[in-house]
Chain A
């Protein structure tokens, strides 16, 4: 079956512009996560959705970052007034449920590489 998909694969923008990054999770997965991976680092948590609601947005760095998942499937990460420091790979992951135990394998998409010039 289809895995997690993310579009675009690459996005180049200018400082101050607005960008949207899209994540299409595995069908039926209720939990969706966004991570940011800077060069040479491990992914860092941004936000977690359970269904349509953001259950935990504690990782969003500031109010320029916002994410939605209006119908409980596709999610969009929105970044306003982009800064050069926002340049990173943005990873999306989904899992069948966010509420089951500890073992909760997250399936990752290929990421969107964002470059802010």
Chain B
């Protein structure tokens, strides 16, 4: 699976949009971009994933650049409960030997400030 790069930390004012960037310049054609978050001492929570089109669900929007080398997760109206570590993961669409593991990097620690 391709490597990802995320800023170690970000702040966002409560009620504003949080835009979390992820660089995945070595992504290949059959790899998806996944986003998870982990609130302190809880299990990771799935947020959204996409291949090349932008995606939106009840939690967030995912914007993937046309060349697929980077993406941005958008939380439209951040609340204090969105304070967490956000992980961007690139993962092959098809399983193969050793590909079942989700590889979490260090992620971005998002702090939502009142």
Partners in one complex: no
Interface, chain B (partner A; CB < 8 A): none
Interface, chain A (partner B; CB < 8 A): none
